[in-house]
């Protein structure tokens, strides 16, 4: 008998039959890695750029918007596994996390410091 936690559906799009290689596949981590690879500038944040749910996320969004940078944004709040898997990939414990060109640029403190010194504008070119 599967334990209750194992019987939870991983994602709504998951087929009903559990695949045999379930312990190998990690769809959330794969989706995050794919998103980081696909977008030149992507911000993982609490809330959305229109409605940030945390002051640190809000400040990071404001820095990007001040530079007129188009960026993709992912809200980590709807599912705690997003944050968990993101931190496993990035080795960075806090939110927000800004990735540029597939690399972690930093969290709020680093992004703001780079914005103020002009380095952020350079990094986003």
Partner 1 sequence: MARSHEADGTDPAGPLGTALRILYARNIVPSAEEIKQRIETAIPGAHAEVEDYTGGGDHFRATVTAEAFEGRTRIEQHRLVYDVFGPEIGAAIHALALKTQTHAKIQTH
Binding region for partner 1 (CB under 8 A): 56, 91-95, 104-110, 113-114
Tokens of 54: 């945390």
Min dist. Cβ of residue 94 to partner 1 (A): 6
Q: Considering the complex, what minimum distance in angstroms separates the CB of residue 85 from partner 1?
A: 14
- Closest CB to partner 1 among 44 and 56? 56
Pairing, β 72-75 against β 41-45? parallel
In whole angstroms, how far apart are CA 13 and each of 9, 44, 83, 123? 9, 22, 20, 36
Of the pair 71, 99, the CB lying nearest partner 1 is at: 99
Which C-beta is closer to partner 1: that of 49 or that of 106?
A: 106
Greatest Cα-to-Cα distance within the chain, rounded to the nearest angstrom: 58
Q: What three-state secondary structure class fits 6?
A: coil
CB of 30 to partner 1, least distance (A): 23
């Amino acid at each position: 008998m599967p334990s209750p936690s194992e019987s939870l559906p991983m994602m709504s799009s998951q087929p009903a039959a559990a695949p045999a290689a379930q312990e190998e596949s990690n769809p959330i981590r794969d989706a995050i890695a794919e998103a980081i690879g696909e977008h030149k500038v992507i911000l993982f944040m609490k809330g959305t750029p229109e409605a940030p749910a945390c002051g640190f996320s809000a400040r990071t969004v404001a820095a990007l918007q001040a530079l007129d940078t188009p960026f993709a944004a992912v809200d980590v709040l709807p599912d705690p596994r997003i944050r968990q898997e993101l931190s496993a990939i990035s080795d960075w414990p806090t939110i927000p996390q800004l990735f540029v060109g597939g690399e972690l640029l930093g969290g709020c403190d680093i992004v703001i410091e780079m914005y103020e010194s002009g380095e952020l504008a350079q990094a986003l070119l």
